A and B are shown apart, each in its own frame.
Chain A
Amino acid sequence: GESVGLHLPTLSVQEGDNSIINCAYSNSASDYFIWYKQESGKGPQFIIDIRSNMDKRQGQRVTVLLNKTVKHLSLQIAATQPGDSAVYFCAERGGGGGNKLTFGTGTQLKVEL
């Protein structure tokens, strides 16, 4: 069936370094992707999104890259800060006009001082 998975369950980075969180997806018909940040005990917080007709999108300190050829999505966080420590989920929306999102397994980002 359809699935969205992450390569690394835990990522540790030094404060100030750049972070790269990866996500593999299997549904080639997915047309929209979102990255969410979830802190402990809280709901997911929208970070950035990208549509399938794009391969890169930038926000404030974050960049999402989409490689449809290999069905790979990544989130880059520049100058990682302690406040970035959280679980990051990628989510995909299957094509066909539906609104349901399928979430990946999540990556725990730990920022070391």
Chain B
Amino acid sequence: GAVVSQHPSRVICKSGTSVKIECRSLDFQATTMFWYRQFPKQSLMLMATSNEGSKATYEQGVEKDKFLINHASLTLSTLTVTSAHPEDSSFYICSARGPGRTSGDTQYFGPGTRLTVL
């Protein structure tokens, strides 16, 4: 249980285009999902918290107009990188709060999406 998927796993795009990344909880409902960014050999940095049916909460320094988050259902959150530039190239990972009272504290991660902007 508590499986999270991401699509696509890898994307290459031209500078100036927009890219959408999907995060799905496959076998449970997730009212809260999280989006992280990870540079090579570094730790995970939280970008935003995505709540179903409401606006996302962004961490300090993360541009909400550049990284659009939509959590339209209890199993799907999307991250759209708008007008992508080479410095946006990174590994984007989503997570979802686990189901149930005890595992609800735990975040389960997707496999990540490697974004390369040329």
> Which A residues are within 8 Å of any B CB, using their own CB?
32, 34, 36, 41-46, 49, 89, 93, 99-106
Cβ of A43 and Cβ of B43 under 8 Å apart? no
- Interface flag for B75 (CB, 8 Å): no
Contact of A103 among B4, B43, B114 (CB under 8 A): B43
What DSSP secondary structure best describes chain B's contact surface?
strand
Cβ of A89 and Cβ of B43 under 8 Å apart? yes
Cβ of A32 and Cβ of B110 under 8 Å apart? no
> Which B residues are within 8 Å of any A CB, using their own CB?
4, 6, 32, 34, 42-46, 49, 93, 95, 97, 105-112, 114
| Inter-chain pairs besides A34-B107, A46-B108, 18 sampled, C-beta below 8 Å | A36-B109, A41-B112, A43-B95, A44-B93, A44-B95, A46-B109, A89-B44, A99-B32, A99-B97, A99-B105, A99-B107, A100-B34, A100-B46, A101-B107, A103-B43, A103-B44, A103-B45, A106-B42
Contacts of B111 in A (CB 8 A): 42-43
Cβ of A44 and Cβ of B43 under 8 Å apart? no
Cβ of B43 and Cβ of A42 under 8 Å apart? no
Cβ of B106 and Cβ of A49 under 8 Å apart? yes
Contact of A44 among B32, B42, B46, B109 (CB under 8 A): B109
CB distance from B26 to the nearest CB of A (A): 14
